[in-house]
Structure 1
Amino acid sequence: MVRHSSIRLLKINRAKINRAESNQDSAACLKRLYAGSAAQVAAASLLLAAVPAAAQDASAPLTLEDLIPDSAVANPEEWAAEGVNQAGAEEPELPELAPETPMAELPELSLDWPEQLEIPPLEALDVDQDIQFADVELPDVPLSDNATVEKVSSELTIVLPSEDAAFPMRGEFIDRFKSLSAITELSGDDESIAQLAARARSDEALLTDLLRVYGYYDAEITRIVGGAKVGEAESDRAPSVRFEIIPGQRYRFGAIDLGALDEAPDYPSLRKSFAIETGDPMSSDEIVSNRLALEVALGETGYPFAEVGAPDLLIDHARSEGDLSVPVAPNGKYLIASVSSSDPGFLSDKHLSSIARFDANDLYQRSLTTDLRRAVTATGLVSSVTVTPRELTAPTNGEPGQVVLDVGLTKAKLRTIAGAIGYGAEEGVRVQASWEHRNLFPSEGALKVRGIVGTREQLGGVTFRKNNFGGRDRVLTLDAFISTLDSDAFDAQSIALVGTYERASTLLFQKQLGWSVGFELIGSRERAPAVGGSQQPRDTFYVAALPASVLYDTTDSLLNPTKGFRLGGRFSPEISRTGGKQSTYIRTQLDASYYQSVNDRLVMAGRVRFGSIPGAPLDDIAPSRRYYAGGGSSVRGYGFQQIGPRDVAGAPSGGRSVVEAAVEARIKTGFFDGALSVVPFLDAGSIGPDPAPNFDDIRFGAGIGIRYDSGFGPLRVDVGVPLNPGPDDNPVAVYVSLGQAF
């Protein structure tokens, strides 16, 4: 056996051997290197014998074979035992070599390439049974008689049991999966099979989760990724995925543990709100919805401090059931004792109590506290509101305790300066400005000073408004102003004091029933418009009125209704005195509108108006108190107040009756993400000199408008033309405003 140490020594000292000058010295060198190891010498000899001889020429260096004497080959052990200095022979002295002396080159080694090279066979990998790649088009038919194929998209299909009993939520399941699928969301024309396979793995995990949502914990899913043929050539294939699902048995609810809920006084009704029972089919959606229902029921039946923890579902595969536990702590039942403001000088406890929709000792309801928070927000006086129940007395002997609702207020900016500059073809230039303090007279007493300077109108006024006065959403308003108004129908210089007390809808609280009552005290000097530059004499009118109105509203929006109707009426008995003559009459008006959504893109809307002023002749009624028609909120296509009888000078004189009608189609477009709508319309209207409506001279206008839904309300631009214009009517009219025409 050849030791590897001998071979290494041979390699290390080969250069030294090649530098030997004679066979005798070389032999002595070998003896010195391998002294005491005959076997090593023999091995070295055998190895060296295999090295091809160098070229035999005089100048060639000695080879390793030349360095080994015959005696060493014949009897290596005896040769090695003789030692280096036999018979007193002196050890030969090796010559010193200069550092720059080149090293002898070793003979080259060569190895012939084998005729036959055997390579071990490749080891086969285990097949993943969960994924298969198909080179052929996937079949579009079920794999068995009790399975059906649901096509989710052009590249994704799902195979499910066809029997409703085996998988009753098939439609809901497919819709839910489609909305969350990575394949559906990220599909593209340049998609490769590798990309599709990666998304298929994600969708398989999604399917597993969705199946567990419905209680299928033992479902089997097989995904197949391949290419569906899309052309005549064999290579014309589009990547596609199919999931084959065997839902298995649907698990059911086992034990139901609702913590300390049974300690509540009205446990039976609370337990009914959590409708899950033992044996019901398992559903995570049902757990979420019933937990929420229980939480709402506790909050609405007097449990302000109730705690409903996160549900825990323990799955038992052996029983095919899941034990559900929801930690519930009712923490006592309470009544509402009072409301406490964090800033009584700003909004008092009494005022907040008047806003609230509950009285003292009413049962606590979470919805009532939410409503109170919204009502305080609607005042516009605060930037944030919190309503927190605080225990006043604890429940004892089966009797409810009491809580105080602490209302935390953060003041908003109370002063507002506003202004607007505009121009209209009918109104000319108009500049408006106002200053308002919304809580100058706490609580909610606002003062507003306003002014208007324009081509046709000038006004200065002061308004006092008290919100939530005498009850929730009731507003008292007192308005005093001086104004001049120069319109195409009349020129009026007026001073007025107007008061109203109303219950009206707001953007936060749209009410089905609204009403108002009030008074008007007006002194006005009025005259007809100038004719040929010649001013007409003014008549002075003193008017006292007691207006009242009511509005019944079932629509779904104040600014942009899509369904429902509105029915409103106004009744105003008035006394007018002019030129020493006193007249009594009643101004009445009825308005009705209807809205119907035909589909997601079309809303049809229509309105009618009837008005009448019986009791006094037209000349005894101030021109500013008569009826007029025409304009953006009346009959579009005509100028403001341009429809109706005219005096001898050709100016509109107004009338004692009005009838109007309008219909329009509000059609959504795909522009600006559906915010832009096109609205064709047709309007009609007539003004009569008598209390009975006059249908003899009806004016028609038609046109088209656009609406842009700003989120706050639609911005309206209407362009109308008169269909049967009078001699003084313009050929086209344009109207711009916020909100629909009606």
Structure 2
Amino acid sequence: MNRGKRYSRKSRLRGIGVVSVLLMGSAVSGCSGDGVLSEFGFGKDSDSAAQDVLGVQIPYQVKIEGIDPQEEKLINALREVSTSIRLQSRPTPSLAGLERRAEDDVERFETVLRAFGFYDGQVAFNIRKAEPDDPTISDDENGGDGDDVVSATSEPAAGAPAGGEQPDPVDLIYQVDVKQPYLLSEVKFSIVRPDHTTKREATDEELERSNLHLGQRAAADPIILAEQYAVDIMRDRGYPLVEAGKRTVIANTTEKTISVTYELITGAQANFGKVNVKGAESVDEDFIAGYRSWKPGQKYSPEEVKTTRRDLAQSNLFDSVIVKPVGPVAENGEIPVEIEVHERKHRTIGGGVDFSTADGPGANAFWENRNLFGAGERLRLGIEGSGQSQGLEAAFRKPQFLKRRQALVADASAKSYSTDAYDGELVESFVGIERKFGDYWSVTLGPTAEYSDLTGADSPNEQFYLGGLRGVLRRDSTDNPLDPTEGNRLEFNLSPYTSLSGPSAQFTSVSFNGSQYFAFDEDGDYVLAGRGRAGMIIGEDRSDLPANKRFYSGGGGSVRGYEYQKVGPIDEDGDPLGGRSVLEAGIEFRARLTESFGIVPFIEGGNVFEASDPEDLDLLWAAGLGFRYYTAVGPLRFDVAVPLDKRDNVDDDFQIYLSLGQAF
């Protein structure tokens, strides 16, 4: 076989520095001993993929050799820009056409190499007869030496068998020599202020915030992204109108290093000025402006702008919120801020259903107005009915009460209960102040009052009139209220009570609830979730406590596998007695197998104790398997659980639960 042509292409810019088109968005400058970096574009697709009249095509495979397999991103980038790979399903009618594709790829590949910091990288290619798929076939049987380089003739199907048969397949092999990578040796800022310009090296803090460090490979992406980080740094320093100017990149071909200078045109430093509101219809503009997290005249900070936007978005009053400075900076050094909102509907009607084998079906409905008086006041009225309770409830919340991030909250309910633990009527009310602090924390404090007329096991069976104080400390860093995949929820509750009339009772209830969520993947399809609960009552014996103020455990929101309130002490009739302390723990693994379906194996344990400080902390355990059907609102939950510590004549063989949302 005739020895064909081997094509080799060297970098056109050896001896002077080169840089990727991805690196260069601006002109660059050079200096003695350094190379001036030029811009590069992608080559055009030079092959028309036209087929000859006889329809002869040369099938081929593409191989990229010479790159460390650990450079997965580089290899993938080369394959993504390759013309020969993109058009592989449309083979050329001649080797010359395939060669043109390869020549185009050489330019593309060298551009990618520069983008990854290999500025001296070289690419060559050759075309060889393909290796036989069957290693038992000899070279003679396969038509000759498979290592021969194929002739690059321009004749269609050169060397093809007679009679219109298709030619043998070939391998297009790219040999990539990445050479020594260039390293980042210097990062400078050229800060152009209205009255003067300062040129200096970036500080260690600025490098860290820009996600750069000296000595790293001088790849394009981090160098380009660092420019926006540099702009953000100047905004944090009170320059709201800062812009990126000319970016200069210089290569030292002797030292194999890259130096970058970012030009930052700051404009004037500014303080927060007047707040203007656009788009408000039924929501009061002054109320919206009151969400600003900064004080008048405070130095401009993008973090404060971000906080204000987040708080407005979480108010549930708007479909969209934009908070931005609108220049120019006034003579007094202040810059106006514009808050543009698009209101959403403020009234909602909804409801839900649930079911368990022990409690039977349940349903609830509600009506809500989130802008009752024009300043984000939320009123929610609800009704519920099940085999355990029936009644009405109401909740009111006035945000921005007296000061920012503070709300006036109130709730009340009037219900009739019929459970194994107690029967009768209960009316409760609460008014308090909720104060948020930090990103995830809140505290609620206020007086509470209630009236109860309940009959239960080991109960005084008398009417109680209680007054007290409710104090709640909460943390919620979860990402979804109905289906959390990361973060945690913590709640500490301290509530002292005293009798206002009727039987004498003075006691304090203390409880702690917590849950934690760990996602094993970025999409949150596999989540390990755990929960715990502990509580105690100090001040009265169990028999002197109102039945509804005791602790109970068991059921769909507690220890699944046991009936509602049935975990803990029971009387001779099998009715729950409740207790003065409680301990619960549970863990489950949530696996979303498809877009709509998932499974959840779980195990839970708990118990209620008569004493506030029990000596024996044995728990009753249960295990089960849940199924989830994911909807736009949240997951539909179907759980089956069995008691592992089943008590004769008390516990059923299994329990079934159906509701919306995860168990915790």
The one-letter code matched in structure 2 to 1:515 is: V
In structure 2, distance between residues paired with 1:630 and 1:739: 18
Q: Which residue of 1 aligns with 2:133?
A: 230
Q: Secondary structure at the match of 1:211?
A: helix
Q: Which residue of 2 aligns with 1:387?
A: 323
Higher deviation after alignment, 232-241 or 631-640 = 232-241
Superposed, 1:54-453 pairs within 5 Å as 127=5, 129-130=7-8, 156-160=63-67, 170=71, 173-174=74-75, 176-177=77-78, 204-214=106-116, 216=118, 219-226=121-128, 227-231=130-134, 232-234=136-138, 240-247=171-178, 261=192, 263=194, 267=198, 273=206, 283-308=219-244, 328-342=264-278, 346-348=282-284, 351-391=287-327, 394=330, 401-453=333-385
Counterparts in 2 of 1:201 and 1:604: CA distance versus 1, 3 Å: farther
Question: Which among 693, 698, 701 is matched to residue 614 of structure 2?
Answer: 693
Conserved? CA contact 2:192–2:266, under 8 Å:
yes
- Is 1:524 paired with 2:452? yes
Indicate the RMSD between aligned Cα atoms, in angstroms.
Answer: 4.7
Counterparts in 2 of 1:699 and 1:203: CA distance versus 1, 3 Å: farther
Q: Which residue of 1 aligns with 2:626?
A: 705
Counterparts in 2 of 1:294 and 1:539: CA distance versus 1, 3 Å: same
Where does the alignment leave 5 or more consecutive residues of structure 2 unmatched? 10-60, 147-168
CA offset digits 1:3-53 (Å, max 9, x no partner): xxxxxxxxxxxxxxxxxxxxxxxxxxxxxxxxxxxxxxxxxxxxxxxxxxx
Counterparts in 2 of 1:616 and 1:257: CA distance versus 1, 3 Å: closer
In structure 2, distance between residues paired with 1:182 and 1:474: 60
Conserved? CA contact 1:386–1:408, under 8 Å:
yes
Q: Which residue of 2 aligns with 1:462?
A: 394
In structure 2, distance between residues paired with 1:489 and 1:563: 36
The one-letter code matched in structure 2 to 1:548 is: G
Counterparts in 2 of 1:239 and 1:518: CA distance versus 1, 3 Å: farther
Counterparts in 2 of 1:484 and 1:355: CA distance versus 1, 3 Å: same
Conserved? CA contact 1:545–1:574, under 8 Å:
yes
Superposed, 1:577-656 pairs within 5 Å as 580-595=502-517, 603-656=527-580
The one-letter code matched in structure 2 to 1:540 is: Q
In structure 2, distance between residues paired with 1:325 and 1:621: 74
Deviation (angstroms), 1:587: 0.9
Q: Which residue of 1 aligns with 2:657?
A: 735
Deviation (angstroms), 1:263: 4.3
In structure 2, distance between residues paired with 1:711 and 1:259: 50
Q: Secondary structure at the match of 1:439?
A: coil
Q: Which residue of 2 aligns with 1:718?
A: 639
CA offset digits 1:416-439 (Å, max 9, x no partner): 222334544344343422222211
Deviation (angstroms), 1:703: 1.4
In structure 2, distance between residues paired with 1:388 and 1:639: 54
Q: Secondary structure at the match of 1:362?
A: coil
Deviation (angstroms), 1:720: 0.6
Counterparts in 2 of 1:583 and 1:230: CA distance versus 1, 3 Å: same
In structure 1, distance between residues paired with 2:195 and 2:216: 25
Larger Rg: 1
Conserved? CA contact 1:303–1:364, under 8 Å:
yes
Conserved? CA contact 1:384–1:411, under 8 Å:
yes
Q: Secondary structure at the match of 1:303?
A: coil
Question: Which among 400, 414, 417 is matched to residue 482 of structure 1?
Answer: 414
CA offset digits 1:443-483 (Å, max 9, x no partner): 11122222224444322233321123344443322123322
Conserved? CA contact 2:358–2:655, under 8 Å:
no
Higher deviation after alignment, 610-619 or 204-213 = 204-213
In structure 1, distance between residues paired with 2:615 and 2:583: 8
Q: Secondary structure at the match of 1:518?
A: strand
TM, length-normalised to structure 1? 0.65
Conserved? CA contact 2:641–2:656, under 8 Å:
yes
Higher deviation after alignment, 719-728 or 606-615 = 606-615
Deviation (angstroms), 1:233: 1.9
Q: Secondary structure at the match of 1:363?
A: coil
Counterparts in 2 of 1:694 and 1:646: CA distance versus 1, 3 Å: farther
Q: Which residue of 2 aligns with 1:660?
A: 584
Counterparts in 2 of 1:618 and 1:245: CA distance versus 1, 3 Å: same
Q: Secondary structure at the match of 1:384?
A: strand
Counterparts in 2 of 1:633 and 1:196: CA distance versus 1, 3 Å: farther
Deviation (angstroms), 1:209: 2.3
**Higher relative contact order (CA closer than 8 Å, sequence separation 6+):** 2
In structure 2, distance between residues paired with 1:161 and 1:418: 59
Counterparts in 2 of 1:420 and 1:328: CA distance versus 1, 3 Å: same
Deviation (angstroms), 1:651: 1.7
Q: Secondary structure at the match of 1:630?
A: coil
Counterparts in 2 of 1:563 and 1:329: CA distance versus 1, 3 Å: closer
Counterparts in 2 of 1:322 and 1:625: CA distance versus 1, 3 Å: closer
TM, length-normalised to structure 2? 0.72
Conserved? CA contact 1:595–1:606, under 8 Å:
yes
The one-letter code matched in structure 1 to 2:509 is: R
In structure 1, distance between residues paired with 2:618 and 2:183: 75
In structure 1, distance between residues paired with 2:98 and 2:482: 48
Conserved? CA contact 1:182–1:202, under 8 Å:
yes
Deviation (angstroms), 1:383: 2.3
Deviation (angstroms), 1:126: 9.6
CA offset digits 1:267-305 (Å, max 9, x no partner): 568965588999998543244122111221232222222
Q: Which residue of 2 aligns with 1:31?
A: none
- Is 1:493 paired with 2:429? no
Conserved? CA contact 2:322–2:339, under 8 Å:
yes
Deviation (angstroms), 1:621: 1.6
Q: Secondary structure at the match of 1:672?
A: coil
In structure 2, distance between residues paired with 1:659 and 1:703: 20
In structure 2, distance between residues paired with 1:291 and 1:428: 62
Higher deviation after alignment, 682-691 or 381-390 = 381-390
The one-letter code matched in structure 1 to 2:175 is: E
Counterparts in 2 of 1:639 and 1:304: CA distance versus 1, 3 Å: same
Conserved? CA contact 2:519–2:526, under 8 Å:
yes
Conserved? CA contact 2:569–2:609, under 8 Å:
yes
Q: Secondary structure at the match of 1:394?
A: coil
In structure 1, distance between residues paired with 2:445 and 2:298: 31
Deviation (angstroms), 1:499: 2.2
Conserved? CA contact 1:159–1:242, under 8 Å:
no
Deviation (angstroms), 1:215: 5.1
Q: Secondary structure at the match of 2:111?
A: helix
Q: Secondary structure at the match of 1:516?
A: strand
Deviation (angstroms), 1:380: 1.5
Conserved? CA contact 1:686–1:695, under 8 Å:
no
In structure 1, distance between residues paired with 2:407 and 2:246: 45
